[in-house]
Amino acid sequence: MRAVVQRVDGASVVVAGETVGEISGEGLCVLVGVTHDDTPEKAAQLARKLWSVRVLEDEKSCSDVNAPLLVISQFTLYGDARKGRRPTWNAAAPGPVAEPLVDEVVARLRELGAHVETGRFGADMRVSLTNHGPFTVLLEV
């Protein structure tokens, strides 16, 4: 699993004009990509990492300050544009594999005590955020 993690001062995701997920104040906006060999165990590992990684103000984690997370599925994180002009998506897991694993990340975060908002899997989403820093890291498990 791969995640692009941005420290934010608020973020939202809109689908067809409706806000389906939104966090305010300090938190993380997390784009999650799933590949073919990912497992529920990797989803749990990613959730633990997201909850405990010290990337907020003063090297705090979401668990330290009870900061919210906005988690959004994004298969394009496994795009490969090394050859030619058009990316391939071969490394991205198909929806029936990826969706339950993204849901597992969210469920595990909630079990840890996190407030988690989400996008809508497979939808045409509009993501807005204020990146604080800017601060962006790539996590892989």
- Rounded Cα gap, residues 62 and 114, in angstroms: 8
Dihedral sign from CA coordinates of 97, 139, 131, 64 = positive
Which one of 6, 19, 45, 74 is the catalytic residue? Answer: 74
Phi, psi of 11 (to 5 degrees): -160, 155
Assess whether 74 carries a catalytic annotation.
yes
Q: Return the structure tokens found at 77.
A: 């994180």
Which one of 19, 39, 76, 88 is the catalytic residue? Answer: 76
- Give the strand order in the sheet containing 2-15: 116-118, 69-73, 18-33, 2-15, 125-140
Assess whether 75 carries a catalytic annotation.
yes
Which one of 6, 35, 75, 118 is the catalytic residue? Answer: 75
Cβ atoms 33, 44 nearer than 8 A:
no
Please give the positions annotated as active site. 74-76
